[in-house]
Amino acid sequence: MAAEFSSCVDYGVRLSKRIYYGKELRPPVPPPPPLAEEQTMTRSSPPEEYLPSAPMVYAVVPEPAIVDNPDVPSYQPYVHGRCEPPALVPLHMYDVAMEIEACLDTAFVSVTGTWRVHCIMAGKRCECCIAVPMGEKGSLLGVEVEVTGRSYRTQLIRRDDIENVEKLTKAQDGNFLRCHIYTFKIPKVEGGSFLSVRASWSQKLVYEVDQFCLRVPFSFPSYVNPVGKKVSMKERILLKINSGTGTQILCKSTSHPLKEIKRQVDKLNFSYEAEVPAWSSANFNFSYALSSSDFFGGVLLQSPNLRDFDEREMFCLYLFPGNNQTRKVFGKEVVFVIDISGSMRGVSLENVKNALMASLSNLSPRDTFNIIAFSGEVCLFSPSMELATKEAIIKATEWVNISLVANGGTNILLPIKQAIKLLAKTSDSIPFIFLITDGSVEDEREICSFVKSYLTNVETVCPRICTFGIGLYCNHYFLQMLAQIGKGYYDAAFDSDSIDSRIQRLFSSASSVILADITLNTLEHLDSLELFPSNIPDLSTGSPLIVSGRYDGNFPDIIKVSGTLADLSNFTVDLKVQKAKDMPLNRMLARRQIDMLTSQAWLTESKEIEEKVAKMSKQTGVPSEYTLMLLVQPDKGKKAPDSVPTQEVNNKLKQKAADANKEQMLFLGRLGMGFGDVAATAANKLPVTEEPKREPTDMWVMAASNCCSRVLNRIFRMPLSKFLFLFILISVYFSYSYANTGKERTLAIIKPDGLLDNYTDKIKNVIVEAGFIIFKEITLELDKDGVSSFYAEHSSKSFFHSLIKYMTSGPVLVMILEKENAIADWRALIGPTDARKAKITHPHSIRAICGVDSERNCVHGSDSPQSAQREISFFFLEKSAGKILPYD
């Protein structure tokens, strides 16, 4: 989805070059092309910069002929054909303002902007695509759109209230490009008209190094700057910080020149307003700290409003670690449980490996660890827990490189049981299980039941279970529930680029525990109490503790929080209770509570809890799995209403289904993550983070393929020379397309000792069984010049002359191997360079079986894509590198 969108924008930017602005005016200068050496790397996919990094509006162009300046027609030659899929031309933006309200760890963001359809000729209409990128764990709260004579406003409605909802879902008008970028379309917008859009969402503040960090997408590309008569471009930002803690706020950094306009002890207001020559080209970043050297916290109370379906009082308890750097951290016993099923192949598993290695390197020598790799079966790094010594981590790194190869099905229960068994004897450390998976399995409720039963009855320290989900095929609510049961934390990555960093952040924040086994005293006298989460996790240096809930009864003036410190002493802190002022507590806590309740509804299959989630979602405006979002247009002359009755919604959706011209209601659909896909997991489908890419060239070819029939007739009537030229052009295109099938190629060499000792057939059998295709092969006898040229990078090494002698001592078999992730998989298959070391650390590798030492190691493999390209070209394009012998 994201790759196709990026290609469509790439095509749209090219089409916009047709637009004529007048003799003295020029369109914005596009980004410079990549350097020559980068072009081969970037040609296969459109630039990442074409994905929106701030709210944007695009003209949807199915017919290139309608692209023109609505004010100054250029009378360009007619362009035949259609764009399939339609091109997306970024619209010029004339005004932008952003308001942010940050409360504790949640920020509410609203961005308002005005865009003009500058690229569609007067009298023509097009759809306009609105894209809303959101920050950390963003959740879309609402959108308002005004266009000439019309206005739209979003509304949430219970999923069960919609008739034929499954049929509508397949034809919904909005979707996610990625987990944090939502897009939808407004129909029939005239060329030259203006659109006013206000998008609102909530997102999380990231807690890093004792600071809250706010990062909001606010970077606009140069091609949205207006061109034409001079326009006053004003950029406005209003930021309100309300920590609610009664503690002084210390500003640390900001990306934009903010001016302080109001200051109280725990509140700060800033503003920024300027007339700018170009819109902001940087995301908005702001960080602040709370002044305290030790544990501190409090409790906020708030009464329900008159419309609240739940009449109980609300509370929010927060506890911060402070910035005391001398506070002792608990020792850790960590078992990493890594999914290596077939769907993890490629970039997902490589990123997981990188994160795993970084996490291991951050362990203290007194910590212990183990690694369990699972697919349909289980593979352990060690039969027992290992001290995190330097030698053990080196050994684990080598084991990971050889053993973590994606293949097979998904069985989560077996490795969880194995991990619990490994941690059964923990005493004065905190045991952790870190589960990383991209799949969904049928026995997830059984897994939760088993873990809950074990943790209830265990007499030793309960293992903390942290979970990490990759892509949309895994059941994220199962992973959240498992983390809740295990008093751990949960996180996820929906695109491959963020897997490494998010796993490292989860491990760092969850494992640096300074206060464990936390209990809340003085609440037992309440008439009723509902806690989120129900099992209170530990407090770590990397994450504040926030517990919320509803209650009936008289809430105490002081809450006593007790726990155990790393020196095993008891600790108690009194938290003062106060009324929440100027803080929307119900909205601030809604996302957290909706997710936890949804996990509970999934586990218990409770319709009552589902209904509760739907009501909370409608009341707070936060989307859920049990609500759907609509974009409602009122009757002409009326303002968009806050809410439309259910029956009217169904009537308008029926009209929309019956008549495409009835666009009074757009069905944006469900904005949740879903409950996983067991069938996709069983089939080992790659997660949606690795989608097929559509090339910009594809767009042009598809547009050409949709030309009218008379163009095809001209082709068949054209002269032979022109026909041959067209045939060659199409052949080149298809050969280029084949190069982008997603498979990778690497160079493999069986060296002289491998051929002379008759290992050739054995090695080729291993290659085929590992899933490689031997694309090409050739037997060569290399001369001195050929070896010197091939190994030129080692010319200054002491072993260079003996290497030349060895490689010219007999024939070599050179092969091009092809498969997904071919380079890394072949390197893993052959093992370490030194065959003596391989016999110890990787006894089943090719070099361990066939090699002798670091020089006579039997086989060679390219170590990077650049090396593979160079080495393949060396042997298969430059045949002068050696004398060809008949293959035997």
Residues 555-575 have pLDDT tens digits of 999 999 999 999 999 999 999
**Which range has highest mean pLDDT (227-241, 288-302, 503-517, 869-883)?**
503-517
Is pLDDT above 50 for 621? yes
Average pLDDT over residues 668-686: 83
Q: Is 125 contained in some domain?
A: yes
Clarify whether 801 is annotated catalytic.
Answer: no
Whether residues 97 and 119 fall in one domain: yes
The region of weakest confidence among 128-132, 292-296, 305-309 is 292-296
What are the angstrom distances between the C-alpha of 593 and each of 472, 478, 488, 530? 21, 15, 16, 11
Q: Are 560 and 574 in contact (CB under 8 A)?
A: yes
CATH number of the domain bearing residue 843: 3.30.70.141
Whether residues 14 and 91 fall in one domain: yes
Nearest one of 814, 817, 813 to 769, comparing CA atoms: 817
Average pLDDT over residues 473-499: 94
Q: Is 819 contained in some domain?
A: yes
**Tens digits of residue pLDDT in 403-462:** 999 998 999 999 999 999 999 887 789 999 999 999 999 999 999 999 999 988 877 778
Is the preceding peptide bond at 832 cis, omega within 30 degrees of 0? no
Whether residues 340 and 454 fall in one domain: yes
The region of weakest confidence among 465-469, 773-777, 841-845 is 841-845
Looking at 541, 561, 583, the residue that finishes a domain is 583
pLDDT at 172: 60
827 labeled part of a ligand binding site: yes
857 labeled part of a ligand binding site: yes
Vertex 806: Cα angle to 801 and 809 (nearest 5): 125
Vertex 463: Cα angle to 591 and 412 (nearest 5): 75
Nearest one of 238, 207, 205 to 135, comparing CA atoms: 205
Write out the two tokens for 520.
């809340």
Q: Which residues have C-beta within 8 Å of that of residue 440, sequence separation ≥ 6?
A: 473, 474, 475, 478, 675, 676, 677, 678, 680, 681
Q: Is 694 contained in some domain?
A: no
Total number of domains in the chain: 4
Average pLDDT over residues 77-101: 86
Q: Would you place residue 738 in the very low, low, confident or very high pLDDT band (cuts 50, 70, 90)? A: very low
The region of weakest confidence among 43-52, 174-183, 213-222, 420-429 is 43-52
**Residue type, position 123, single letter:** G
Whether residues 496 and 393 fall in one domain: yes
Q: Are 320 and 295 in contact (CB under 8 A)?
A: yes
Edge-to-edge strands of the sheet including 56-61?
87-90, 56-61, 125-133, 181-190, 174-178
Q: How far apart are the first and last CA of the chain?
A: 49
List beta partners, residue 289: 250
Catalytic residue among 118, 180, 842, 860: 860
Q: Is 153 contained in some domain?
A: no
How far apart (Å, rounded) are the C-alpha atoms in residues 618 and 133? Answer: 22
Whether residues 543 and 502 fall in one domain: no
List beta partners, residue 666: 631
pLDDT at 107: 95
Is pLDDT above 90 for 485? yes
Whether residues 501 and 563 fall in one domain: no
Residue the block writes with tokens 């089943």 = 844
847 labeled part of a ligand binding site: yes
Structural domain harbouring 56: 2-138+180-290
Q: Is 578 contained in some domain?
A: yes
Looking at 583, 598, 616, the residue that finishes a domain is 583
Write out the two tokens for 246.
């009664």
Is pLDDT above 60 for 615? yes
What are the angstrom distances between the C-alpha of 782 and each of 368, 502, 610, 805, 875? 50, 48, 71, 10, 10
Nearest one of 425, 250, 438 to 339, comparing CA atoms: 438
Share of the chain above pLDDT 70, in %: 83
Nearest one of 144, 151, 143, 146 to 638, comparing CA atoms: 151
Q: Please give the DSSP secondary-structure letter assigned to residue 120.
A: B
Whether residues 439 and 566 fall in one domain: no
Tell me if residue 350 falls in helix, strand or coil: helix
pLDDT at 829: 92
Average pLDDT along the chain: 84
CATH number of the domain bearing residue 105: 2.60.40
Looking at 523, 549, 583, the residue that finishes a domain is 583
Is pLDDT above 90 for 336? yes
Is pLDDT above 80 for 163? no
Half-sphere exposure of 882 (CA within 13 A, CB side): 25
Q: Which residues have C-beta within 8 Å of that of residue 215, sequence separation ≥ 6?
A: 135, 136, 206, 283, 284, 285
pLDDT at 134: 94
Average pLDDT over residues 670-681: 84
How far apart (Å, rounded) are the C-alpha atoms in residues 509 and 267? Answer: 26
pLDDT at 325: 66
Q: Is 625 contained in some domain?
A: no
Whether residues 185 and 261 fall in one domain: yes
Whether residues 56 and 201 fall in one domain: yes
Is 823 buried (19+), middle (13-18) or exposed (0-12) by CB count in 10 A? buried
Higher pLDDT: 777 or 171? It is: 777
Tell me if residue 716 falls in helix, strand or coil: helix
pLDDT at 582: 82
CATH number of the domain bearing residue 352: 3.40.50.410
Is pLDDT above 90 for 524? no
How far apart (Å, rounded) are the C-alpha atoms in residues 467 and 491? Answer: 7
pTM value is 0.74
799 labeled part of a ligand binding site: yes
pLDDT at 45: 42
Whether residues 432 and 571 fall in one domain: no
Whether residues 483 and 553 fall in one domain: no
Average pLDDT over residues 245-269: 91
- DSSP letters along 763-823, please? HHHHHHHTT-EEEEEEEEEE-HHHHHHHTGGGTTSTTHHHHHHHHTSS-EEEEEEEETTHH
Q: Would you place residue 660 in the very low, low, confident or very high pLDDT band (cuts 50, 70, 90)? A: very low
Q: Are 116 and 194 in contact (CB under 8 A)?
A: yes
* Element spanning 872, H or E: helix 865-876
Q: Is 516 contained in some domain?
A: no
Q: Is 242 contained in some domain?
A: yes
Q: Would you place residue 80 in the very low, low, confident or very high pLDDT band (cuts 50, 70, 90)? A: low
Write out the two tokens for 251.
């500003």
Q: Are 92 and 226 in contact (CB under 8 A)?
A: yes
Whether residues 543 and 476 fall in one domain: no
